[in-house]
Amino acid sequence: MDAIHLTNLSFFARHGLYEEEAKLGQRFEVDLSCYADLTEASISDDYAQTICYGSIAETVERVVTQERFNLIERLAGAICEAVFQLDKRIATVKITVRKPGAPVPVHAGMFSVELTRHRPDAV
């Protein structure tokens, strides 16, 4: 299966369990891979035969910045759902959501979740 990768997308948003996270906000980072058959685009050089990565990025941005979730697991799931709605040719989505400033009681670099989802209506 072919893939389109978007890496190191960064957004300011207000996700998190704690009231301070909702109030102050923080940075979230997203890596996303969309798996689809890109054979026609690779042969024809025709834009209509591919999946617009700009539209994928805008979809990710909309979910991250305009919705609010307690868990980054749910944020990642919501992004997958929105990407599947964007283009029916996308068969699988793999996503990593990183939360560099997670409020934990130890000095740590970064926390992340990774999900792989397959189109629910795939045959």
Structural domains in the chain, sorted by start: 2-118 (3.30.1130.10)
SS3 87: coil
Task: Give the mean pLDDT of 96-101.
Answer: 90
User: Looking at the predicted structure, is the pLDDT value of residue 6 above 60?
Assistant: yes
30 contacts 6 by C-beta, under 8 angstroms:
yes
Helical (H) or strand (E) element with 61: helix 53-66
Selecting among 23, 88, 94, 99, the annotated active-site residue is 99
User: Looking at the predicted structure, is the pLDDT value of residue 123 above 60?
Assistant: no
| pLDDT band, residue 82 (cuts 50/70/90) | very high
Q: Which two tokens stand for residue 92?
A: 């699988």
Q: Respond yes or no: is residue 94 known to be catalytic.
A: no
Task: Give the mean pLDDT of 6-19.
Answer: 94
Q: Which of 39, 36, 46 is nearest to 88 (CA)?
A: 36
- What's the whole-number average pLDDT of the chain? 93
Task: Give the mean pLDDT of 51-59.
Answer: 97
47 contacts 23 by C-beta, under 8 angstroms:
no
pTM of the model: 0.92
Instruction: Name the more confident of 109 and 68.
Output: 68
